Structure formats: structure tokens, C-alpha cells
Chain A
């Protein structure tokens, strides 16, 4: 059986299961009320896309910087990288958002909640990116660095021509996976009143009292963003699978 057919069958079975569950609880659908607010959903979706793209770029840059710190021979720099990564990965994003917005941003006079949201999200995701990048660099065997030196490459040429092209291939699937998490994590920005997709659904729910009709489109919207990324991650994984 081809893989795509298997996927379709599983999706149908899963949908049937959900439909069965709904039929047993006699849920009364009220899509009309929610449909009135479709513009709000679209706006929220747009904001989520924009926030995600911005944090994605920022978290990649932060991840690279932190990976350099983690790999530093300088004890102090390495410590900065390590403490950052462990603090961020060990605490809830919710707490980081509240601290970041109500304490840090207020203290420095940064009032734009969108900018603060992107920054906190990027710092959060950057800690995971840093570990991915560090792992990718560490996975390149010493013999590759030796060979690069043996043919007379400078350290910078070795990084650019030998180490990075291999490391990028290694980390791309994991990075795509991290981007998926990042998109979903952006839903938490609703707690600092950023009008993104999730906040839109919450508001529509409070206007219409149609909870599922408000949140099911939310799930569908996130899938619309994350499924292509997951697919991309798998394609990359397959394309770059070669042994040394």
C-alpha cells in the first residue's frame, strides 16, 4: 500500500472516531455565530504568521550566537551560554513571557507588546536552537577537520567549505521541528494581550459561547502552518541521508 493512501485511511478512521464521540454527546453546532467573526480569525492568523516568521529569524540568530558561546573555550563565555540555555529550557514559557513583559520590558521602557512577544519567543526558541546547532557541529568527525587542515584550508575556509555544509544538512530536520514548536508556542502570547490567532479564538468564544466552533478553526489554522513544515522536515531528512 502506498504511504499516502495509508495516511488518508488513518485520517478517515480518526475522523470517524471523533464524529462518533460528538454523536454520543449530542453537541449542538452553532457555526453561524462564529462565521460572523471570520474577519477576526483571519486577522489573528495573519498576526500569528508574522510573529512566527519574525521569531523564527530572530531565534535562529540567537541560536547561532548561543551555540558559539556553548562551544567557546573561554570559561566565562561558555558559562553564559550554558546558564542561558538551561534557565530557558527549564522554565515555562508562560513565566518567561510574564516576567519579560511586566518586569524586564517595563523596566527598560519597551512598551510594544508585539516586539516584546517576538523577543521572548525568540529567546525561548533560541535556547533549543543552540543545542541543535551545537550538536550538529559536534557530530562532524575530527577526521573531517584533519582532512581540511591537511589540504591547507584556513580555519574559516574549513568552516565554510567543509564543516558548515555538513552540519547544516544534519540539523535541518531538527530545526524544522523546532519551527513547528515555535509556531504553536506563539499561542501563549495571548497572555500578554497580543492579538494573535489564539486570542482571536478566545474572544470569539466569549462573544458567541460556541467553544468548539471557536477552537476547532484554531486547530485547523495551526495545522495549516505546521503540516507543511513537518513534511519539509521529512523531505530534508531523506535528501541529506548519506553516510560518511
Chain B
């Protein structure tokens, strides 16, 4: 994907969260956003995912501008997938029903077609045995993997993943990251917000460091994580990697 963000501004009340953020990437498949909490990563991701409209600025994916009106944004959201930190699944539905809901009610598949569509992915990620369970009966890792699957089975152009492992223990984190890694190997494009630097290094084509409402540095992972000459970025990694 070619991402072109120009002068993005987002405010909540009197707080400015994005302060003229700009970013142009080359053709990347996996873009990873890193940076301090409250720096604007999640706010940026929500705009990219078409969930919020910025106060000012523009975003274009592959030359296509993101719309600003709700009906057009809804059409856009139907072409992408988004996974949040936690509580993605609808607790009154089973894992299977969670997967079927967007396929049937948003994408117009019949029950049979939708079930056929989810069968193979459920098998591939060893989730078929859990499909009949409600979210409350699933582990945190299983919940997130079902959530990623729900975003995936509608065959989106790209995924937006907002700290998908930050509510998980290390073992479940590993299981979710492994899944995301596998998706990348199969050609899925995504923008990921994460604090897992080891994973960012491994999976990212490009890393963007978001702090103080701007992109302070971006480039190949090693360049940003190990050799960045921006003091703010260097001190961040020095602290968390020591």
C-alpha cells in the first residue's frame, strides 16, 4: 500500500492529539506504528480505519482519498478490517456467529456461503473446535484470534490492528503475533500499533514513530529502532530496550 497522510490534526475538546501529522510511505505491506502512550498512535489508526474524521488534513491509500461523510466512510470501513485491544467480539454471540455476522449482514452472503467461507480459516488457525463457544468461554488469545479472523474473512484490502496483544499475557501474545506474522506471509496488508518491538522489527516493512501528535521518524525497522538520530526517538528506544 502507498500511504499519503498530510497535515492531520485531531482534537478532543481542548486537547490536540494529532498536531499536523504527515507521513508518506513507499509500497509497504506491513506498516508498524510505535511510540509513547498518548502520542497519538491509536488516534491516527482510528482515522486510517475510517472510524473517526480528523479536524483537518487528508489521508490517501494508494492514491484514494478517505471520505469525510459517514455513509461513504461506512462503505470504506466495509473494505477494510479493524481489531481493537480487547472486547472486539459480541458477547451474546458464539465465535461462529461473530464471524458470520458481517458476512451475512454487511456483505450479503447466505448462511451457507458464509459458513463455507469461514471453515478453512478456522481450521488453519486451529480455532474450529472453539467456534461454538461464547467469548466468555474463550481465552484472551483465542478471542483476539477470532476477532482478527472476523476482520479477515470479509477479504479486506488491509487490516488495522490497534495494540491487539496489549491486554494479553506473554503466551497468548505469542500466539496472536504468530498469527499476524503468518498473515503477512500470505500477503495480507496491515497497519499495526504495538509495543512489541521484537515483533515490529521482524514483521514491519516500515516503522513510523508517532510522538507528540506527529511522525517523528519513519523508515525500515532497524533504522528507526537501532540507529535513529532523532533524540526523542533514540531516548525512547534506549529506555524500553535496555
Contacts and interface: CB of A to CB of B under 8 A. Distances in A.
Interface of A: 141, 143-144, 146-154, 157, 161-162, 165-166, 169, 242-244
A143 B87 CA distance: 6
Contact of A150 (B77, B86, B105, B136): B77
B20 interface: no
Contact of B90 (A147, A149, A154, A243): A147
Given A143-B84, A143-B86, A150-B77, A243 B136 contact: yes
B150 A144 contact: no
Given A141-B87, A143-B86, A242-B136, A152 B78 contact: yes
Interface in B22-76: 49, 51, 74-75
Interface of B: 49, 51, 74-75, 77-78, 81-82, 84, 86-92, 101-102, 105-106, 134-136, 150-151, 154
Contact of A169 (B89, B92, B151): B92
Contacts of A152: 74-75, 77-78, 102, 106
Residue of B78, B90, B106, B136 most packed against chain A (CB within 10 A):
B90
B106 A146 contact: no
Contacts, number: 64
Contact of B91 (A146, A157, A161, A242): A242
Contacts of B89: 147
Nearest to A243: B136
A153 B82 contact: no
Given A147-B84, A166-B91, A244-B87, A153 B136 contact: no
A144 B51 CA distance: 13
Nearest to B103: A151
A244 B135 contact: yes
A154 B84 contact: no
Residue of B77, B81, B91, B154 most packed against chain A (CB within 10 A):
B91
A153 B87 contact: no
A151 B87 contact: no
Nearest to A244: B91
Contacts of A150: 49, 51, 77, 81-82, 84, 151
